[in-house]
Chains A and B, each alone.
Chain A
């Protein structure tokens, strides 16, 4: 007699299993029009009549780079609620890939973490083309001084430059004073930089101060090799890297920079090395300005610091730097394209550029005014304002469809050279072979 019950129960279980995968969010969709009668409101959620815009960010709680814009946008558009999907920086691209593969309505606005993923998303048609919007609203792309054009994929715009970061040379003034050495200037060659680093290396054991710091990224060697704009990190011939690896290995051997293997195995973050005053100098991106300002504000650190323009190769003009853009784009399946465009336009505007500057962030639009705003912030080393200016800017990585694969190879060979498993020549030889394999040279 119990069998029919069992049958029934398992049938119910099976049924719930199937329906469990079904549309859960149906009731959330609210098709009521709001009072303005705007067509976009068709798919807004029932949130006090507010329109909802979904954006994707990474490490949103550690930097004001996204939240400042989101807040400013919400202030300017009281009828819009911005919903943030935040992921850790390491996982961001993977998470985004999965989200976009599902082809759901969200996310509406996407902050693109690097050029490689911009290219891959554009080629997978996961981003909305912006050219029509740009033409319709007469957006002047010249304010980005060429960056907007550099972001184009096959002549089409899929994104606008949101923020721009480039490398500068941070230094600890207190340690320079202690060593009795003059601060780094805005015009140094890499050879002069190394010489300076040797001068400010002092102390022994746990009190040792290293002249400078190379974090474990390959970019901190390869970037300087592409600074002259003659080569990119996707190349047929990598011999141009050799002098820069020689310098890095030499500095490591002489104890001018910390040991790569130790940094790598202990997973030491560059910010802790600089904040703990273990190094006198450190080449790093401009994003670190905001981090240092925040750390001085909170009282986490309390020493004098500054930064200079990044050193340059012999024969290249002072003020040449290497950097990258953070583009902002719209998901191809968004249900609110007009609102999303409104957000993108706002985020990349000159007006928002000032808001970002107040937070120590350099936007895609650089002007004397935004530099002034940054420099007047409380914990900004104001005499370093000139170091923000650059004369030439090259991208740290080219817009190449295989860039992520090539970077994996670069990382691996960098590893082998820096831990001393390979000589520089062996590393470069294998790098060349493997990149040729990827690119089909």
Chain B
């Protein structure tokens, strides 16, 4: 062994030793449970000392015929399809607006970021009050501006999901605004100056400089948001509990109920695998799209 090889091994060892503590934690708490869940998805098991029974793809077949699963699946898609694009646009606009040097900018930035750090349970409860159909402020406002029959929000199967989406956007927007703000600071002012000299107005600068140069950030934001949306659970649990009926039941809700209400761990794992595959496919599609629309400086 040459001394060069020796040094390389030693260097590697040092490197591994750095990641070792984290790796062990990751293996025990994430990697092994994920593998276990993969195995469980082809088993039938009630979570007790009763033996697991191999059932092959039976759990997946049951999923296809399960009306609650179908509804949860569609609801999750609906939630993601509305929440992701609106949040991206809203946080981008906020960031552009709050990227100016005006008085009290820190106050504005903080107040938009605040929802993200506020306790979800409190946020859910307060929004539920705001959305109260009879005497809630939102519907009072809507009536005041002449809408005679405002939506009944969380007690309506048609509007409950919309209410959840509105709260989600409000909550996520601040965080991604900060991400965009950071990216905006990275755009060279020289580009804007050059554009000004060429006579470009504000809109054209936004359209041809800001947005293209932010595409790497947009890509990141979209991916994170998509994953976040597919695993939504807490906010819905607090606001509607999946109701009315099954109108805001989402996949994670379904997985939770299958595992901890029905004690059908195999079935729940199968649903979790389906969720994993969906997120994987969506992310892969986004990666594919990356080459088309993301421009690096």
Contacts and interface: CB of A to CB of B under 8 A. Distances in A.
Interface of A: 3, 6-7, 10-11, 13-14, 17-18, 21, 94, 97, 100-101, 103, 120, 123-126, 259, 261-262, 264-267, 404-405, 408, 412-413, 415-416, 419, 421-422, 433-434, 437
B157 A97 contact: no
Contacts of B257: 408
B132 A265 contact: yes
B129 interface: yes
Nearest to A9: B17
A103 B49 contact: yes
Contact of A125 (B48, B132, B156): B48
A415 B21 contact: no
A437 B152 CA distance: 30
Q: Which 3 A-B pairs have the closest CB atoms?
A: A124-B48, A261-B155, A10-B17
Nearest to A2: B14
A265 B128 contact: yes
A323 to B, nearest CB: 23
A7 B46 CA distance: 43
A261 B152 contact: yes
Interface residues of B, number: 40
Contacts of B104: none
B188 interface: no
A264 B160 CA distance: 14
Nearest to B262: A405
Nearest to B16: A10
A6 B260 contact: no
Interface of B: 10, 13-14, 17-18, 20-21, 24-25, 28, 46-50, 66-68, 125, 128-129, 131-134, 152, 154-157, 242-246, 257, 260-263
Contact of A264 (B46, B48, B134, B155): B155
Contacts of A413: 245
Contacts of A261: 133-134, 152, 155
A421 B155 CA distance: 9
Contacts of A262: 132, 134
A412 B257 CA distance: 13
A11 B24 CA distance: 11
Nearest to B263: A120
Contacts, number: 98
B48 A17 contact: no
A124 B14 contact: no
B25 A412 contact: no
A412 B66 CA distance: 16
A265 B133 contact: yes
15 contacts: A3-B14, A6-B17, A94-B260, A97-B47, A120-B46, A120-B263, A124-B46, A124-B263, A261-B134, A261-B152, A262-B132, A265-B154, A404-B262, A412-B243, A433-B67
Contacts of B66: 437
A3 B46 CA distance: 49
Of residues A413, A421, A437, which shows the largest number of chain B Cβ atoms within 10 Å of its Cβ?
Answer: A421
A124 B49 contact: yes
A245 to B, nearest CB: 15
A100 B35 CA distance: 23
Contact of A434 (B67, B152, B157): B67
B256 to A, nearest CB: 10
Nearest to A264: B155
Contacts of B17: 6-7, 10-11
A14 B133 CA distance: 55
Contact of B50 (A124, A265, A404): A124
A432 to B, nearest CB: 13
Contact of A18 (B24, B260, B262): B24
Contacts of A266: 128-129, 132
Contact of B20 (A14, A267, A404, A422): A14
